[in-house]
């Protein structure tokens, strides 16, 4: 992995203009499959876990598999030759030169199980790739990366400007697109499904209610709540409508802030909810009764976590509560370098081990009172989002283009698999500022949270 992202990585093939692509060649003697099979077996084992079908209709792999990988063009080999790692394959997929057909979840799971680590080409694989590219007519100048790719920044990681750019890359792709994917709740975080038949909208409301009650908003009307990373204002509106909270929501996304303000106004809550375009590092001199951070901490980074929790702690008095809801990974996982998630989905994102989160909160002066995993709930949430996208796929493409729609469908399906197999998790960690005599104001049991 690339350790220093403060300077742009130089990889041959990342830039340059592309001449007109010649028509694909259907090689004799077994077709494209015969030429590419050695490379596939090097990457995925002697028996490929899924079927690969090539542009000349030749194929390799089992007749029956969860789905198939369809390679539309020799350009896939060209991309891999110039970028012989994960990013070469990803670029081909985003550009539409490579497709997954059939059971998307099952196909991705089978591929992951066969090659669980990042794609790396050794010398033998590179020779095989070069031979296949030569015989299929794929040699040529590098193809430009799809426009959906975000390049490495020269700015310091997690500086304010770089964080704002990273947030804009992911969230400022169009509110109408997110409405298609997320549904009426417009909530981009893990829902809480109380039964197997609970709808996505009801599950998001249940999650909002759980957060509000963990923060004690039901215990006092008019509590002052800060919602860090407020998204499109759904939790803020819920807290104000149901519990009479006075809410300040902050976000770095211009498009989120605009729609959140409109939704607050439409709900008749302009006097109860304020939406700001603001960095959490600029908060000072204010006091709140509770702070919610739902699906935002992934953008903070381990280097900034102490500052983050200290800043939040400074905004709360004795008995004040923080609910930190964030995706986590055992041992932690930093999204960086030449990877799909860093370049196309969450630039500079970081999934911090829940143990490190609890420790950082304690060091900032919080007493950790509750930790809850909603891992299986997030898998269900993601599958619902994928279903929404697939149902409205043509409309989504009209809004954001085929490349970005492909990115979102792929990343959400792969993430659902991650939450199902335990490679990913999501935790709500509740911290309380203790009073001078140890008073916390916490209920005796979780039963009061509902």
Check residue 120 and give its pLDDT.
67
pLDDT for the residue 39: 87
Over range 354-369, report the average pLDDT. Answer: 97
- Least confidently predicted of 5-9, 279-283, 431-435: 5-9
Q: In what order do the strands lie in the sheet with 59-60?
A: 59-60, 51-53, 67-71, 98-102
Q: Residue 169 and residue 25: Cα distance in Å, rounded? A: 37
User: Which pairing describes strands 246-251 and 224-228: parallel, antiparallel, or unpaired?
Assistant: parallel
pLDDT-derived band at 186 (thresholds 50, 70, 90) equals: very high
Per the prediction, the chain carries an average pLDDT of 88
Q: Is the dihedral of CA 393, 395, 402, 169 positive or negative?
A: negative
**CA dihedral defined by 54, 58, 60, 65, rounded to 10 degrees?**
80
All domains of the chain in start order, with CATH: 31-135 (no CATH), 160-449 (3.40.50.150)
DSSP annotation of 24 reads P
Burial category of 286 from C-beta neighbours within 10 Å (exposed 0-12, middle 13-18, buried 19 and up): exposed
SS3 of residue 402 by DSSP: helix
In the beta sheet, which residues pair with residue 426?
Answer: 327
* Predicted local distance difference test score (pLDDT) of residue 325: 98
**Top-confidence residue, 136 or 233:** 233
């Amino acid at each position: 992995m690339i350790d220093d992202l403060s300077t742009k990585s130089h990889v041959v093939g990342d830039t340059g203009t592309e001449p007109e692509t010649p028509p694909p060649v259907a090689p004799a003697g077994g077709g494209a499959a015969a030429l590419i099979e050695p490379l596939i077996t090097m990457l995925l084992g002697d028996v490929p876990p899924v079927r690969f079908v090539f542009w000349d209709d030749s194929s390799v792999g089992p007749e029956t598999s969860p789905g198939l990988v369809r390679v539309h063009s020799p350009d896939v080999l060209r991309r891999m030759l110039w970028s012989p790692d994960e990013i070469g394959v990803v670029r081909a997929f985003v550009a539409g030169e490579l497709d997954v057909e059939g059971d998307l979840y099952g196909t991705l799971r089978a591929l992951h199980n066969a090659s669980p680590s990042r794609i790396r080409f050794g010398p033998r694989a590179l020779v095989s790739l070069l031979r296949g590219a030569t015989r299929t007519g794929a040699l040529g100048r590098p193809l430009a990366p799809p426009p959906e790719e975000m390049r490495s920044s020269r700015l310091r990681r997690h500086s304010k400007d770089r964080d704002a750019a990273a947030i804009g890359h992911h969230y400022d792709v169009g509110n109408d697109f997110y409405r298609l994917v997320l549904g009426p709740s417009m909530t981009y975080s893990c829902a809480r499904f109380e039964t197997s038949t609970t709808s996505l909208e009801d599950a998001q409301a249940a999650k909002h209610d759980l957060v509000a009650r963990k923060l004690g908003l039901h215990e006092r009307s008019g509590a002052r709540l800060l919602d860090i990373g407020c998204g499109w204002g759904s939790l803020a509106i819920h807290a104000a409508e149901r519990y009479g909270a006075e809410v300040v929501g902050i976000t770095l996304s211009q498009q989120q802030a605009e729609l959140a303000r409109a939704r607050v106004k439409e709900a008749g809550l302009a006097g109860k909810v304020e939406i700001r375009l603001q960095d959490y590092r600029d908060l000072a001199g204010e006091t709140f009764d509770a702070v919610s951070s739902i699906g935002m901490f992934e953008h903070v980074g381990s280097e900034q976590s102490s500052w983050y929790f200290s800043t939040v702690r400074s905004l709360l008095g004795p008995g004040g509560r923080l609910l930190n809801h964030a995706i986590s990974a055992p041992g932690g996982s930093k999204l960086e370098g030449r990877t799909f998630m860093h370049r196309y989905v969450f630039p500079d994102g970081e999934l911090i081990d829940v143990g490190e989160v609890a420790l950082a909160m304690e060091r900032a002066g919080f007493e950790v009172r509750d930790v809850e995993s909603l891992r299986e709930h997030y898998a269900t949430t993601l599958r619902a989002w994928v279903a929404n996208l697939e149902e409205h796929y043509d409309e989504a493409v009209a809004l954001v283009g085929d490349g970005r729609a492909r990115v979102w469908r792929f990343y959400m399906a792969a993430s659902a698999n991650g939450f199902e197999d335990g490679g990913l998790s999501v935790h709500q960690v509740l911290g309380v500022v203790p009073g001078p005599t140890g008073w916390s104001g916490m209920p005796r049991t979780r039963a009061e949270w509902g």
